[in-house]
Amino acid sequence: MSEPKQIKLDKELLKKEKHIDSKTPEEMNNEVTSEQEYDVTQLTGVGPKTAEKLREKGYLTLIDVATTRADELSAVMGIGYAQAKVWIDDALDKVSAKMKLQNATDYTKEKNDKTTIFNTGSENLNKLLDGGFKTGTIYGTVGRFATGKTQIGFELVVDCLSKGYSSVFIETEPDTFHLERLQEIANSKGIKNVDWSKLYVCPADQIPTAKAQYLQYKIIQKTLERGENIKLIVVDSFNAKFRAGWSRTELLPLRTRELGEHFTLIEFLTAKYNLCWYLTCQAIAPPRPDQGLQAKVKFGQEWYPVGGDFLLHSVNVWLGLNQVKTELWTATLFDSSYIDRGTVEFVLCKKGLMDSVK
């Protein structure tokens, strides 16, 4: 039986990576684009030496050239205004050719045609989510410890692999990923066609900080650019490192900026490669009783996701999980742009998720 592959930290990438506070908006933008797709060497008449000079001056991609002014480019590069205008127009043509306007009918058909749905063993939960967890979407689950967040991720990985796709499990905390548990779930459901070599693991020992967690997405981006058919990424837990790095109130703006960098790349990869992201999120008790009531109305539980409003805004579909008694859990869908709010019950046991004990 093939074993999952461990994704190793790229040491060269780590050396190049700046702390977010020292990055310019242009650098953050360029990190999410494909270097080959928007390389400045595509400009007519621009060779390797000129391309290197453009990069040194801050024009790292075609998008940078297309969105600058001719007088600025002329002054920075020491070229004539007319030449600068030629480069800008050329860059604009090449970038615009990769972008398009679609009418809503064509867009929806194209999106639906390429959507893959991953299911759990609970039909109640699948129906609550309009059929299941879909590619092109970022899902978040929030709840206290032992509320089933990780187990849902395991179920999705098994279903993804059984459909012939690759999956990535980002383990931000030690002893979270267990292949034996995944195999137990697959065997209990009679799923035999699982190629475990298509499962990649980013282990906890290379994720000491939120910045190191961000690097895992960059490594996944490189893997996708090489053609690996990854469709599901599980991050367990997504916000654990954010609790440790920004624990005081005055540091919250820095935490928001770091969250912004993470989701800028996550959102880009989701849209470009039609991925399903499943993020488990830790919760925190509200400091005041009235906030607990507000949380119960909003999230279906008296606990807040760690990460604040930015985290809440950045996830497309949110589930709040609770354990109500032995083996019985509830899932509350409390935010989606198109699915009605609702709550369902499911069973979590040795066999995984089910609607009732069999």
What is the pLDDT at residue 181?
Answer: 97
What is the pLDDT at residue 296?
Answer: 66
86-102 average pLDDT score: 89
Q: Higher model confidence: residue 249 or residue 165?
A: 165
- Residue 101 main-chain phi, psi, to 5 deg: -100, 135
The whole-angstrom separation of Cα 21 and Cα 258 is 9
Q: Angle, nearest 10°, between helix axes 70-77 and 81-97? A: 120
Reply yes or no on whether the pLDDT at 293 is more than 70.
no
Reply yes or no on whether the pLDDT at 1 is more than 90.
no
Reply yes or no on whether the pLDDT at 22 is more than 60.
no
Tell me the percentage of the chain whose pLDDT exceeds 90.
62
What is the pLDDT at residue 138?
Answer: 98
Q: Which two tokens stand for residue 17?
A: 């990576």
3-state SS, one letter per residue, for the chain: CCCCEECCCCHHHHHHCCCHHHCCHHHHHHHCCCCCCCCHHHCCCCCHHHHHHHHHCCCCCHHHHHCCCHHHHHHHHCCCHHHHHHHHHHHHHHHHHCCCCCCHHHHHHHHHHHCCEECCCCHHHHHHCCCCEECCEEEEEECCCCCCHHHHHHHHHHHHHHCCCEEEEEECCCCCCCHHHHHHHHHHCCCCCCCHHHEEEECHHHCCCHHHHHHHHHHHHHHHHCCCCEEEEEEECCCHHHHHHCCCHHHHHHHHHHHHHHHHHHHHHHHHHCCEEEEEECEECCCCHHHHHHHHHHHCCCCEECCHHHHHHHCCEEEEEEEEECCEEEEEEEECCCCCCEEEEEEEECCEEECCCC
pLDDT tens-digit readout, 36-47: 667 888 898 888
Radius of gyration of the chain (CA): 23
The whole-angstrom separation of Cα 306 and Cα 211 is 17
Structural domains of the chain, with CATH: 24-97 (1.10.150.20), 111-354 (3.40.50.300)
pLDDT tens-digit readout, 209-218: 999 999 999 9
Long-range contacts at 51-57 (CB < 8 A, ≥ 24 apart): 53/77
Reply yes or no on whether the pLDDT at 33 is more than 80.
no
What is the pLDDT at residue 283?
Answer: 83
Q: How confident is the model at residue 61 (pLDDT cuts 50, 70, 90)?
A: confident
Q: Is 79 exposed, middle or buried (0-12, 13-18, 19+ CB in 10 A)?
A: middle
Low-confidence winner among 55-69, 245-259, 286-300 (lowest mean pLDDT): 286-300
What is the pLDDT at residue 156?
Answer: 98
Low-confidence winner among 55-69, 294-308, 336-350 (lowest mean pLDDT): 294-308
The whole-angstrom separation of Cα 215 and Cα 209 is 10
Write down the mean pLDDT value for the chain: 87
The amino acid sitting at 131 is: G
Q: 35-54 as b/e, with b when 16 or more CB fall inside 10 Å? A: eeebbbebbeebeeebbeeb
96-124 average pLDDT score: 93
**What pTM was computed for the model?**
0.83
| Residues in CB range of 281: below 8 A, 6 or more apart | 140, 141, 142, 149, 237, 238, 239, 305, 306, 307, 311
